[in-house]
């Protein structure tokens, strides 16, 4: 049962890393990092266009934002697919990270005597010291 919770935890960590850190974090700075990954699933029969805009609310401050638009090649209809692109790329990156964790865990086999709670490493045995009378 503990092994299942370990893999559920690893899946949660990989989802966090894939969605939040890579898809949202890196995707906000470098949009081309996530768009080629998600394009075949999000915009199958069209072209995925990336538009970067800048908004300024105060003088000297600007806030960039990106919009992903799927343009249908037959009708020319445009549809905003920014959320779908981010989620799809995040899930794909998460699965990649989970596979790396899964394969890495297969190669790492700790020895029970070194890492178990009852090992001599945690509970050293008392050493007998002989006292000699010196006269």
CA dist 54 → 63, 91, 128 (Å): 5, 28, 75
Q: Mind listing the pLDDT tens digit for each residue in 20-32?
A: 888 888 888 888 8
Six-digit token pair at 41?
């699933």
Confidence band, pLDDT 50/70/90 cuts, at residue 127: low
Q: Mind listing the pLDDT tens digit for each residue in 58-116?
A: 888 888 788 889 998 888 899 999 899 989 999 999 999 999 888 887 766 655 544 45
- Residue 71: is it exposed, middle or buried by C-beta count within 10 angstroms (0-12/13-18/19+)? middle
- Strands in 6-134 per DSSP E: 46-55, 63-72, 78-80
Against a cut of 0.75, is the pTM above it? no
């Amino acid at each position: 049962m503990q092994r299942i919770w370990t893999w559920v935890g690893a899946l949660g960590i990989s989802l966090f890393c894939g969605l939040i850190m890579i898809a949202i974090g890196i995707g906000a700075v470098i949009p081309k990092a996530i768009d080629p990954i998600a394009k075949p699933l999000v915009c199958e029969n069209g072209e995925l266009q990336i538009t970067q805009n800048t908004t300024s609310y105060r003088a000297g401050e600007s806030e960039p934002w990106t919009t992903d638009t799927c343009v249908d090649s037959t009708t020319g209809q445009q549809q905003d697919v920014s959320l779908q692109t981010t989620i799809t790329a995040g899930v794909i990156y998460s699965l990649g990270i989970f596979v790396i964790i899964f394969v890495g865990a297969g190669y790492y086999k700790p020895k029970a005597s070194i890492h178990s709670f009852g090992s001599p490493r945690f509970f050293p045995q008392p050493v007998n010291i002989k006292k000699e009378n010196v006269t």
